[in-house]
């Protein structure tokens, strides 16, 4: 390990932790009446917000990685459970909070991986990204959490389940021409938006 890199890494981790806010925010990210208000996970300091950068290395699949394998039906079941598990995040969100019914996906989701994803480009500088990396990306950025071990059953299961979700995804014509959607995850289809279940409470 390169010792010189450590302080920088710590500084980044520290900055992220600070940016993610205090305990009140951790308990209920949807407490504010306006989910896009200051203490909300979708607010400015959150890695999900437009403009913030994060360490793209943590979502880059290390060379030689093999995802875990297992019984397909069992893996899909685990993946489906994890898809709705808010414990995977630090801000009380699950994949399903944002992506239920194909929400928060742009038309790129309909293409085979690897491919360009606006958020991955904006925040991580990825020209194109793989599906397992994208799962890690959403864990690290919008869910403000840790990534999963590359050889874990959980990552394999979530990746497999997401591929299943992808099969039934239908591109939406409207998403294409909306410049706000791409760069700002807090735009229309985002959980910060009015119709989100998160907003109601």
- Is the Cβ of residue 70 or residue 145 nearer to ligand HEC in the bound state? 145
Please state whether 171 falls in left (phi above 0), alpha (psi between -120 and 50) or beta: beta
Cβ pair 98, 186 in contact under 8 A: no
Specify whether the CB–CB gap between 75 and 67 falls below 8 A.
no
Which residues contact ligand HEC (rule: CB under 6 A)?
48, 88, 93, 95, 97-99, 104-106, 108-109, 117-119, 131, 134-135, 138-139, 142-143, 158, 162, 182, 185, 191
The nearer residue to ligand HEC, 20 or 139, going by C-beta atoms, is: 139
Torsion of CA 91, 17, 135, 30, to 10 degrees: 20
Q: Angle at the Cα of 188 (from 182 to 193), degrees rounded to 5?
A: 130
| Least distance from ligand HEC to the Cβ atom of residue 179, Å | 12
- Which CB atom, from 55 or from 169, has the smaller least distance to ligand HEC? 169
Least distance (Å) between residue 1 CB and ligand HEC: 28
Is the Cβ of residue 10 or residue 28 nearer to ligand HEC in the bound state? 28
Q: How crowded is residue 193: how many other Cβ atoms within 10 Å of its Cβ?
A: 17
Tell me the residue number closest to ligand HEC, measured at CB.
95
> Is there a contact between 125 and 119 (Cβ–Cβ < 8 Å)?
no
From the CB of 45, what's the least distance to ligand HEC, in Å? 15
């Amino acid at each position: 390990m390169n010792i010189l890199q450590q302080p920088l890494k710590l500084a980044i981790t520290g900055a992220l932790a600070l940016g993610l806010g205090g305990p009140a925010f951790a308990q209920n990210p949807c407490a504010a009446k306006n989910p896009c208000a200051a203490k909300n996970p979708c607010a400015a300091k959150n890695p999900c917000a437009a403009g913030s950068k994060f360490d793209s290395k943590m979502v880059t699949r290390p060379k030689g990685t093999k995802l875990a394998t297992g019984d397909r039906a069992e893996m899909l079941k685990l993946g489906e459970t994890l898809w709705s598990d808010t414990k995977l995040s630090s801000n009380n969100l699950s994949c399903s909070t944002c992506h239920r019914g194909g929400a928060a996906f742009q038309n790129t989701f309909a293409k085979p991986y690897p491919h360009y994803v606006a958020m991955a480009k904006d925040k991580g500088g990825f020209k194109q990204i793989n599906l397992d990396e994208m799962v890690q990306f959403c864990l690290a950025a919008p869910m403000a959490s840790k990534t999963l071990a590359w050889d874990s059953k959980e990552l394999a299961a979530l990746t497999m389940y997401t591929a299943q979700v992808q099969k039934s995804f239908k591109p939406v014509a409207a998403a294409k021409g909306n410049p706000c959607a791409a760069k700002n995850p807090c735009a229309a289809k985002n959980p910060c938006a009015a119709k989100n279940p998160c907003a109601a409470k």
